[in-house]
């Protein structure tokens, strides 16, 4: 596991940019952290790198938002899905080209891709600590390059 400290929004933006470049337009990022930790802020920065011009907002009430850019961004907020057992059709999203970002992924762990980059965002005073863990060789390699 790698830890990156972000003291400013610019630090968060640089981290998102680096991860987007390493993913090369295709992959799954799973975000966890308390409310207000910076999950959506990170996703906004990632979207900017992907060429998304639309304003990225938290999809809490929609569950899934799709943004088109030079690479598509599939933004899932699983906060309201805890304990839900029905098929939501996310498998199609996971198979598409683009980057899928899942906030609150721990609530849907049994239906998301096994191969992913997990990022826990922890607030430590004014500093955000990004705890990054790859779950497969591809993502462990990306973790090492961050």
SS (H, E, C) 96-119: CCCEEEEECHHHHCCCCCCCCEEE
Single pTM value for the model: 0.88
Distance CA 21, CA 30 (A): 17
Give the residue ranges of DSSP H helices in the chain: 9-23, 39-49, 90-95, 137-145
Distance CA 117, CA 28 (A): 6
Candidate CATH numbers 3.40.50.300, 3.30.1360.120, 3.50.50.60, 3.30.565.10; the one for domain 2-145: 3.40.50.300
Nearest-5° Cα angle at 59, 29 to 68: 70
Asked whether the predicted pLDDT for residue 37 surpasses 80, the reply is yes
The C-alpha torsion from 114 through 137 and 40 to 127, rounded to 10°, is 130
Yes or no: say if 59 and 75 are a contact pair by the CB < 8 Å rule: yes
Asked whether the predicted pLDDT for residue 80 surpasses 80, the reply is no
Pick 103 or 25 by higher pLDDT: 103
Asked whether the predicted pLDDT for residue 92 surpasses 70, the reply is no
Q: What is the mean pLDDT of residues 38-57?
A: 89
pLDDT of residue 108: 82
Distance CA 72, CA 52 (A): 8
Q: Identify the residue whose tokens are 């998301």.
A: 112
Give residue limits of the domains in the chain: 2-145
User: What pLDDT, in 10s, does the model give residues 94-133?
Assistant: 667 889 999 989 888 888 889 999 999 999 988 999 999 9
User: What pLDDT, in 10s, does the model give residues 48-76?
Assistant: 988 898 888 876 667 888 899 888 999 98
* List of residues 6+ apart from 52 with CB closer than 8 A: 67, 68, 69, 73
Residues forming a β-bridge with 131 = 3, 120
pLDDT of residue 115: 93
């Amino acid at each position: 596991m790698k830890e990156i400290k972000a003291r400013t929004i610019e630090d968060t933006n640089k981290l998102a940019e680096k991860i987007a470049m390493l993913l090369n337009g295709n992959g799954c990022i799973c975000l966890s952290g308390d409310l207000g930790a910076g999950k959506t802020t990170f996703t906004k920065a990632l979207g900017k790198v992907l060429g998304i011009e639309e304003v990225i907002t938290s999809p809490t009430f929609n569950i899934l938002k799709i943004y088109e850019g030079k690479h598509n961004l599939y933004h899932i907020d699983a906060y309201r899905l805890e304990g839900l057992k029905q098929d939501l059709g996310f498998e199609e999203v996971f198979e598409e080209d683009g980057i899928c970002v899942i906030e609150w992924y721990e609530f849907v762990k049994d239906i998301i891709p096994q191969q992913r980059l997990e990022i826990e965002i922890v607030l430590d005073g004014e500093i955000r600590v990004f705890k990054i863990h790859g779950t497969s060789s591809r993502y462990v390699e990306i973790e090492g390059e961050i």
